[in-house]
Amino acid sequence: MRVIATILIAGGATGIGRASLQAFRAQGDNVFLVDINREEAEAACVETGAGAAEVLIGDLTDPALPKAAIEAALEAFGSLDTVFVNAGLLRAAALTDWTLADWQASLAVNLTAPFLFAQAAAPALRGSPNPSLLFTSSTGALRGHAGMPAYHATKAGLVGLCRSLADELSPQGIRVNCLLPGWVDTPFNGPFWSHQPDKQLAERDLVAGIPLRRQGTAEELAATVLFLASPAAAYITGASLVVDGGYTAV
């Protein structure tokens, strides 16, 4: 009989996070969702699912939120098996238009929050038979695009954080991995497209450079998230798993 797991998803009101929430619940797992988008987060949690869902509304730029979220998840479900930090901030602007506040906000959401979630979650995860930390990085950790210095820098930093935490936490049984999505057709990429002089031309050129000749879907990435959180991935830690249709292979 399959053991029901408890999953915390930070950033799951839309896109990959929401598809993952739906997939975990469909297989009977309980999900504790943390997100700043109240309307979409609450809507996601009232959807039909075999597993239960609870939500905490909060801003990941708040350094107190990760600890509070872990405590709330434990209060709601009594245990924790996977912490999936999926939230991200993408801003695009010419270098001269970037402000220190823009840079610091990206750092807070994309890199500091995952670190603080790991720090707060580790003690609770030790009690799980299949504990894992999972971060959403990006193929932006491997390639660069003009106008997005903070996104690329923080997503590359997240890969380094993953490797360091894997070395420290794996002896305690906690696996730590990074998901590196390529181009996925969700609203998250809106700032990038808005920064392009010709969105249609940019999208056509982008897709032409992907060997599978299309962007991915949130559901395809969610399937990879479920795998990395499952016992089937028991010997995978410190990995940066690229899911990009071949985008970074050519």
The residues carrying an active-site annotation are 151
Q: How far apart are CA 12 and CA 31, in angstroms?
A: 10
Interhelix angle for 65-77 vs 113-125, to 10°? 30
Position of tokens 């610091």?
A: 104
Interhelix angle for 100-107 vs 149-169, to 10°? 30
205 exposure class (CB count in 10 Å sphere: 0-12, 13-18, 19+): exposed
Interhelix angle for 218-229 vs 15-26, to 10°? 60
213 exposure class (CB count in 10 Å sphere: 0-12, 13-18, 19+): exposed
Q: How far apart are CA 99 and CA 79, in angstroms?
A: 41
